[in-house]
Structure 1
Amino acid sequence: MNAFAKLLTVMMIGISAGAHAATFTFTAIPDEDETKLRSRFDKVADYLETKLGVDVQYVPVKSYSAAVTAFRNNQVQLAWFGGLSGVQARRLVPGSEAIAQGYEDQFFKSYFIAHHSTGLTKQESFPAIGGYTFTFGSKDSTSGRLMPQFFIERNLGKRPDDLFKRVGFSGDHSRTVAQVEAGVYQVGAVNYKVWDSMVAEGKVDTAKVSVVWESPAYPDYQWSVRGDLDAKFGAGFKAKLTAALLEMKDPDLLASFPRQSFIPADNEDFKPVEDVAKAIGLID
């Protein structure tokens, strides 16, 4: 190979590398402890790299609002949001879309849990929890705040601050369980998936804390993408990403969510969440 051919080859390699230099980034709401989240989403990053042919990086955040901000500022192009945080993010980024959800996310639930000292037991009707101390999860959590507050107000006719001795926000579902188990709060609201997983893993002392009410179903978690995805990564990239998420079949990876599969989603699926958020004053 002569000198010109070598130079041309080097230039073409550089151009090719440059075309794929952009890193595809995604984040997720921090609904569980950071170690568990990183284990889950680093696996997702590896999976997406093999499917998309680009570098993929999971970007952890410290709060639900930070996930929304990262999405709004184009620090990430994809996010695993809860129902409310997804609605908030898509309202801030024109053209953004929900593209996939877990099968179970069509009919998600919240559990209300109580410390054994309350004497509360599981029942079909909404429990008489007024007068106790109560903790939500994150302020922007669908299953740990939005829907529980809606059910409280609908069933007991008062806002939480007027009903409970003290109201807290634990920050995530794992901490909600830990705080109610320890008696820091007497009652709390938690994502049913996190509770079921913690019980299955032996991380909950059910002699100290138990489920006292199970909510009706509502839509929750989803993968949402920015509308400018194809402009940044090339025509058809969003379709390729959507297919990769829907074709995620690895049992170990699915179990880490935990979900049995991912199915198509669109923005309209989460209109009920938006309506509830407006009804209780969390969004305009």
Structure 2
Amino acid sequence: MLRILIRGLFLMLLAGAVNAAPVFVFTAIPDQDETQLKQRFQKVADYLQQELKTEVRFIPVKSYAASITAFRNNQVQLAWFGGLSGVQARELVPGSRAVAQGVEDPEFKSFFIANTSTGISPSDHLPESLRGLTFTFGSKGSTSGRLMPEYNLREQFGISPDELFSRVGFSGNHSRTIALVESGAYQVGALNYKVWETAVAEGKVDTSKVQVIWETPTYPDYQWSVRGDLDAVYGDGFTARLEKALLEMNDPELLNSFPRSGFIPASNDDFEPVRKVAKQVGLLD
């Protein structure tokens, strides 16, 4: 009798293990330093876990390329991508799609900043005096820190950044771009305008040493992208519940960490302008 009870208990535990939904995992492009990212997205993980009634885990990645690889390999099922990284990732995962973006994301922009020792003043166009200076992008895969700034430089000057500047670098993230230009390690750089505005508001920028000299025309950028097989793995209706949770994320503390004023629906077609520019610049086949 005892043997039968033990066997029955074992079968129940086994069935529970088989039927339990796997952990839902997401990541985000490392557009700021890792400490800030972990603080931002652990709060999002807690929120999604409460809304989805399943275990949710955030995993940081070291590079934009790593976020795309994790999405392609199903190590993560959801990602907060930039415009370019989202396009690249969705091309690798059939059925994946953009589902939500910040209210500000359809009309995003980049800021060009310069160390004040250059003597360059704010302008409504890219100044000729940029020629021969040192310049840093953000990450090589960044929409706001590389793709769109490079596109605008090529449009304005008709040559590549390597031909335009005496030295070109890649800082790795927007926060680092500010630090490098402020210190004078690079004379000019380009970055996400939201990161700049947040850093200035928090008193993390010495505006006597570095200032915005130009802003790009607007373009679509960040978005949440999901894999297309979520319902098959997590149950019917899971994707719809996830979309609802993302669009209804309205806690001021959560929104301020992005920073966004709210989230709105997104689709793959919204990022077609990014795809076209990436092809033109040579960052997409």
CA drift of 1:14 comes to 5.5
Question: Whole-Å Cα distance in 2 between the matches of residues 19 and 177 of structure 1?
Answer: 49
Query: In structure 2, what is the equivalent of residue 214 of structure 1?
Result: 215
CA drift of 1:7 comes to 7.3
CA drift of 1:5 comes to 8.2
- State the TM-score, normalizing by the size of structure 1: 0.96
Gapped regions of structure 1 (runs ≥ 5): none
Question: Whole-Å Cα distance in 2 between the matches of residues 116 and 55 of structure 1?
Answer: 49
Question: Whole-Å Cα distance in 1 between the matches of residues 19 and 217 of structure 2?
Answer: 48
Deviations 1:207-240 (CA, angstroms, capped at 9, x unpaired):
0000000111100000001111111111111111
DSSP 3-state at the match of 1:69: helix
**Is contact 1:98–1:224 with CA below 8 Å preserved after alignment?**
yes
Residues 53 and 6 of structure 1: CA distance in aligned 2, closer, same or farther (over 3 Å):
farther
Deviations 1:171-216 (CA, angstroms, capped at 9, x unpaired):
0000000000000000000100000000001000000000000111
Query: In structure 2, what is the equivalent of residue 225 of structure 1?
Result: 226
Deviations 1:234-268 (CA, angstroms, capped at 9, x unpaired):
11111110000001010000000000001000000
4+ residue stretches of structure 1 with deviation over 4 A? 2-14
Matches within 5 A, 1:61-76: 61-76=61-76
Query: In structure 1, what is the equivalent of residue 168 of structure 2?
Result: 167
Query: In structure 2, what is the equivalent of residue 110 of structure 1?
Result: 110
Query: In structure 1, what is the equivalent of residue 20 of structure 2?
Result: 20
Query: In structure 1, what is the equivalent of residue 242 of structure 2?
Result: 241
Matches within 5 A, 1:132-147: 132-147=133-148
Question: Whole-Å Cα distance in 1 between the matches of residues 18 and 55 of structure 2?
Answer: 12
**Is contact 1:83–1:273 with CA below 8 Å preserved after alignment?**
yes
Amino acid at match of 2:37: L
**Is contact 2:21–2:233 with CA below 8 Å preserved after alignment?**
no
Question: Whole-Å Cα distance in 2 between the matches of residues 200 and 174 of structure 1?
Answer: 14
Quick one: percent identity of the two aligned structures? 63
Query: In structure 2, what is the equivalent of residue 277 of structure 1?
Result: 278
Query: In structure 2, what is the equivalent of residue 177 of structure 1?
Result: 178
CA drift of 1:17 comes to 5.3
Amino acid at match of 1:241: L
After superposing the two structures, state which structure 1 stretch, 36-45 or 119-128, moved more. Answer: 119-128
Question: Whole-Å Cα distance in 2 between the matches of residues 95 and 5 of structure 1?
Answer: 46
**Is contact 1:20–1:54 with CA below 8 Å preserved after alignment?**
no
DSSP 3-state at the match of 1:167: strand
Deviations 1:124-152 (CA, angstroms, capped at 9, x unpaired):
12222111000000000000000000000
DSSP 3-state at the match of 1:25: strand
RMSD: 1.6
Question: Whole-Å Cα distance in 2 between the matches of residues 125 and 46 of structure 1?
Answer: 44
Alignment of 1:96 onto 2:99: no
Question: Whole-Å Cα distance in 2 between the matches of residues 249 and 11 of structure 1?
Answer: 43
Deviations 1:65-100 (CA, angstroms, capped at 9, x unpaired):
000000000000000000000000001111110000
CA drift of 1:20 comes to 2.7
After superposing the two structures, state which structure 1 stretch, 192-201 or 229-238, moved more. Answer: 229-238
Alignment of 1:35 onto 2:35: yes
- State the TM-score, normalizing by the size of structure 2: 0.95
Question: Whole-Å Cα distance in 1 between the matches of residues 200 and 19 of structure 2?
Answer: 47
Question: Whole-Å Cα distance in 2 between the matches of residues 36 and 12 of structure 1?
Answer: 43
**Is contact 2:22–2:234 with CA below 8 Å preserved after alignment?**
yes
Residues 131 and 109 of structure 1: CA distance in aligned 2, closer, same or farther (over 3 Å):
same
Q: How many residues align?
A: 283
